[in-house]
Amino acid sequence: MAAVVNPNGTLAGKVALITGASRGIGAAVAARLAMEGAKVVCTARTTDQAESRLPGTLTETVERINRAGGKAVGVKADLAQASDRERLYEETLAAYGSPDILVNNAAVTFFIPIETFPSKRFDLMMEVQVWAALHLSQLVLPKMRERKGGAIITLSSGAAIHPARPFEGVRPGGTVYGMCKAALERFSTGLASEVYADNISVNAISPGLVDTPGVAVHGLINENTKHRVSPIENIAEACYQIATRDPKAMTGRIDHAAPFLAELGITPSELI
């Protein structure tokens, strides 16, 4: 059965804000939430193909959803800039209202060994991956508290797990990336404890190794790793399931998409 948009689905009337939605995981999550009736605000830095060396644009994601009968708008924003984050929230309010769902997916990643890691790139990674997720959460939380409900989902990675001795075969350069993802996991569990009484869920979910443009540019899929590649539908479905579960039961979790779906007995839906 072909994937379709159900305007009266489980997310009808809900607003979802997804960062890093021009391609890959962000675009897939936006499509999955829109399939269930959510009004989706997609944001990224790339609106036109000429702006990036990677395939995929914000315009294409929005057109993909609207062409299928969903509702989506795009807001170009650089999440490294606090002013852009604030403008993103204001434009989301103007388009659809304050988000019921926030998906923190945006990332800027450099794989450089620690001994030569430039401070400028460290600051950029921390700003986009960690502080932007925190700041956007600060912006959406007041309305979520008023409504006594909401979901904040942050994309993590297996890189957050400590490397295991004897450290043979470890690819150098991933330490700062792992730091960012570990920080996001602790942020998620901590925030979950702070907003539990307001019926707001906060969770971190790892996609596994997914064949996306960003993964390709870093050469993360090779002969040694190709057996671990996971369908992008897994992470899109996992985000949808988190967003629609009882916030009191589904919060403060750090999961990997495939075993998470297996636990729930869920088969990922095809995407529009």
Domain ranges of the chain: 15-263
Residue 135 has pLDDT above 80, yes or no: yes
- What's the pLDDT score for residue 60? 96
The 3-state secondary structure of 65-129, one letter per residue: HHHCCCEEEEEECCCCCHHHHHHHHHHHHHHCCCCCEEEECCCCCCCCCHHHCCHHHHHHHHHHH
- Cβ-Cβ contacts under 8 Å for 8 (sequence gap 6 or more): 37
The widest CA-to-CA distance across the chain, in whole angstroms, is: 53
pTM: 0.94
DSSP reduced 3-state for 165: coil
- Tell me the angle at which helices 24-35 and 232-244 cross, rounded to the nearest 10 degrees: 50
- Overall size of the chain counted in residues: 272
> Lowest-confidence range among 53-57, 88-92, 237-241?
53-57
Residue 175 has pLDDT above 70, yes or no: yes
For the chain, the average pLDDT equals: 93
- What's the pLDDT score for residue 191? 99
Residue 224 has pLDDT above 60, yes or no: yes
Q: How do residues 14-59 score in pLDDT, each as one tens digit? A: 999 999 999 999 999 999 999 999 999 999 998 888 788 888 999 9
Q: C-alpha angle with apex 258: 221 to 24, nearest 5 degrees?
A: 50
pLDDT tier for residue 138 given thresholds of 50, 70 and 90: very high
* Range 15-263 has CATH code 3.40.50.720: yes
Active site residues: 177
